[in-house]
Amino acid sequence: MKTEIIKSLSTNFEDNSQTTENGIEFWFARDLQHLLGYTKWHNFQNVIIKAKTSCEASENDILDHFADVGKMVKLGSGSEREIDDIMLTRYACYPC
């Protein structure tokens, strides 16, 4: 990969980080899905499953790094609906 692309992805990744009220840094999986070029949530869920397997294999507690949450999104009509998402720690975002 070219250096510019890596720097851009790294910057975009850091720009998408958020922090809980307790000061825990996290990323929403759906935000990373688009950042990494996955158009379908189902396809990205397969990546999450592999990351959970890797987390478990390294003897880390999955629940410490992957938290299932619901998130409200606006629809084209202006109304909102809840969708499934996952809060990921920095560790959960590491490549396998």
Taking 60 as the threshold, does the pLDDT of residue 36 lie above it?
yes
Closest CA to 72 of 87, 85, 86, 82: 82
Q: Spell out the residues 6+ positions from residue 60 whose beta carbon is closer than 8 angstroms to its own.
A: 91
Please count the structural domains in the chain.
Answer: 1
> Residue 71 is encoded by which pair of tokens?
């998130």
Can you name the residues that pair with 70 across neighbouring β-strands?
84
This model's pTM is above 0.75: yes
Question: What is the model's pLDDT at position 1?
Answer: 58
Considering the chain, what is the average pLDDT of its residues? 91
Q: Spell out the residues 6+ positions from residue 15 whose beta carbon is closer than 8 angstroms to its own.
A: none
Which of the two residues, 9 and 88, has the higher pLDDT score?
88
Alpha helices in 16-94 (DSSP H): 29-35, 41-57, 90-93
Range of the domain at 68: 3-93
Closest CA to 25 of 13, 37, 35: 13
Taking 90 as the threshold, does the pLDDT of residue 95 lie above it?
no
- Identify the band that residue 52 occupies on the pLDDT scale cut at 50, 70 and 90: very high
Quick check: 10 and 2 in contact, CB under 8 A?
no
